[in-house]
Structure 1
Amino acid sequence: MTDAPLVLDFADERCREVDLAGGKGASLASMTQNGLPVPPGFVITSTAFVEAVDGAALIKHIQAEDLEAARAVVAATPPPRELIKEHYDRLNASSVAVRSSACAEDGDDASYAGQQETYLFVESFDDVMEKVVECWLSFFSDRALFYRLHKGSLDDINMAVVVQVMVDATKAGVMFTVDPVNGRKDRLVIEAALGVGEHVVSGEVTPDYYTVDRKGAVKKARVVAEQILSESELAELAKLGLHLADLNGCPQDIEWAYDDAGLYMLQSRPVTAF
């Protein structure tokens, strides 16, 4: 056993450590502690999984390519229920998002985006507990293991899970603080759709597409129906996006959402390729 924490609030300094909180959790903690608008939440750390799981059996099954047996080990692993309940009650949320956060994800040379699961509008504590295990299991899907095999990290079983107040988004999407096609640093690209941003990330809907300058002024737009983002919203997004790029020291790929109260930042990771 180690002294590493099993559950950490976004406001906790240690939550910025990727080894504990994963790429997504560390990003959310960093944004929170830098004063950006982030829905409150906490991380069930990689330590919680590593200490609870039968790691020797899990790795043995993975190396033997017996994924069914590996997943059975994970499915039987109990999350730290009382600690999670304490942090969950503090959120006082009607629904939460439960999001996988791999410790190897979202680095400059590897993006695990989309490799693990996200569950939206989770409404009860028992469902949260179930979804935490589902997130752990998604780290051992055929697709995720194939990806890790090609990255040379099959023995990596460090996996964190984010639990975060759900934004009931009216509009949401993604933003790149450089043009991801040609790398132009004087341009940002913003995609937007009505409702939650997962529809944009997963490709379920065709979003509005805006190329803007560093002030948020539209240089090029492809609007599907009625324009989703106003000029002031585009300017607000550009300002916060460039602030995040400055904080991180490199161009960012950002997930964002608006609800009736305003703008929230849901994720920020380095742009991995142009």
Structure 2
Amino acid sequence: MIIVPISSLKKSDILLAGGKGASLGELVQAGARVPPGYVVTSIAYKNFLEYNGIDKLVARLERRDGDPYALAARIRSAILEGEMPGDLSRELDKVSNEFMRDFLAVRSSATYEDSPEFSFAGIHETYLGVRGADVESYVRRVWASNFEDRAVAYKLDNKIPPSKVLMAVVVQRLVNPKAAGVAFTLDPRNGDRSVVVVESSWGLGESVVAGEVNPDRYVVSKITEEVLKREISNGKNTMYVLEGGKVVHKEVPPELAAASSLEDGEVVEVARQAVMLEKYFGHPVDVEWAIERDVYILQSRPETVWSRRKTSGEWHSTGDLLKDIAYNLLSFKL
């Protein structure tokens, strides 16, 4: 299993596909529409290192046999210049041919053998706008990022043996959405679990996730799927879009900045997807999504603020009887 479709994975495959790859696979199992792609597995990574004798350099790094950063530089060079095993080369060619006309995201998906849930967020590389023909080159770059100075320092500081950090790589079609954002299966302002809150802005979702814009905000009833409230922001004055394979930062014209980034039908579909994931995972979630004709789910995380608060067992009243019934049934374990 050197390269596997994302759609074949599940969260228990974390040692094979890394945290990111396994999480994407689990979203597919939940019924979400995820941008298509593959994971170059940790087995492929290990096979490549052993095939080129790079594992011996990694062992030296682990023993502190020499300057660790000089050894890391040698390892990076060996990864970028090493020979690709024939079976892996053929599988990468298949992926390249499938996505020859697409732009891709090539992302690290590292996992620590002795503690699979250990987070390496922000430590390794991600590349956006990769052409299909360049997949192999960028897979090598992601592998090599396992031995960038900051990654080596992180491992050494946390007493993590470098040989135990396995690098899978996610290769996924990059969507170019009209709008994107985050959906919460409770109201992040007050913890109301009877609604879904959808935040949206134009283009890629980075501007919303990073807090660079004041997004549109829609509140949707979980019971009736009615859009209960719309807060259309005129502060959507910047966006990120995909142009020629590059993520470009652009100013939004005033008339577009003040317009609703979603139609009601789109809002409801995003909310449905979020509720589906909440039911599947069994807890409130916040979901990164994007619309490129269809609604794509990019990531789902547990909601961690209101979900950790212990409920008092008291009846919550807003003055709206139907909403009170929905809120209390959804919020408390009776």
TM range, smaller chain = 0.7 to 0.9
Q: 2:298 is matched with which residue: 263, 266, 274?
A: 266
Looking at structure 2, the residues matched to 266 and 25 of structure 1 have their Cα atoms a distance apart, in angstroms, of: 11
Q: 2:288 is matched with which residue: 239, 255, 268?
A: 255
- Check conservation: 1:11, 1:32, Cα contact below 8 A: yes
1:206-264 deviation digits (Å, cap 9, x = unpaired): 250526343473557472232322332222111101211222233334221111x2211
Looking at structure 1, the residues matched to 279 and 159 of structure 2 have their Cα atoms a distance apart, in angstroms, of: 31
| Equivalence for 1:24 | 20
- Check conservation: 1:40, 1:91, Cα contact below 8 A: no
Looking at structure 1, the residues matched to 263 and 48 of structure 2 have their Cα atoms a distance apart, in angstroms, of: 48
Structure 2: 5+ residue stretches without partners:
236-256, 307-334
SS at match of 1:254: strand
Instruction: Please say which structure displays the higher CA radius of gyration.
Output: 2
- Check conservation: 1:109, 1:272, Cα contact below 8 A: no
What is the aligned residue count? 266
Deviation at 1:97, TM superposition (A): 1.5
- Check conservation: 1:15, 1:43, Cα contact below 8 A: no
Looking at structure 2, the residues matched to 60 and 150 of structure 1 have their Cα atoms a distance apart, in angstroms, of: 17
- Check conservation: 2:183, 2:198, Cα contact below 8 A: yes
Matched, 1:100 2:108: yes
| Equivalence for 2:273 | 240
Alignment TM-score, normalising by the size of structure 1: 0.78
Q: 1:124 to 1:158 in 2, by over 3 A?
A: same
Q: Which residue identity is paired with 1:212? A: V
- Check conservation: 2:72, 2:149, Cα contact below 8 A: no
| Equivalence for 1:205 | 212
Deviation at 1:128, TM superposition (A): 1.8
| Equivalence for 1:162 | 170
Looking at structure 2, the residues matched to 253 and 146 of structure 1 have their Cα atoms a distance apart, in angstroms, of: 32
Q: 1:116 is matched with which residue: 124, 136, 141?
A: 124
Percent of residue pairs identical: 34
Root-mean-square deviation (CA), in Å?
3.5
More contact order relative to length (CA 8 Å, sep ≥ 6): 1
- Check conservation: 1:19, 1:103, Cα contact below 8 A: yes
- Check conservation: 1:199, 1:205, Cα contact below 8 A: yes
Matched, 1:196 2:204: yes
Deviation at 1:101, TM superposition (A): 1.4
Deviation at 1:45, TM superposition (A): 0.5
Deviation at 1:43, TM superposition (A): 0.5
Looking at structure 1, the residues matched to 181 and 73 of structure 2 have their Cα atoms a distance apart, in angstroms, of: 32
Alignment TM-score, normalising by the size of structure 2: 0.66
Q: Which residue identity is paired with 1:217? A: V
Deviation at 1:81, TM superposition (A): 2.2
Following TM superposition, the consecutive aligned residue runs of length 4 or more in structure 1 with deviations greater than 6 angstroms are none
Q: 1:73 to 1:150 in 2, by over 3 A?
A: closer
| Equivalence for 2:254 | none
- Check conservation: 1:62, 1:70, Cα contact below 8 A: no
Q: 1:191 to 1:247 in 2, by over 3 A?
A: same
- Check conservation: 2:218, 2:267, Cα contact below 8 A: no
Deviation at 1:179, TM superposition (A): 4.7
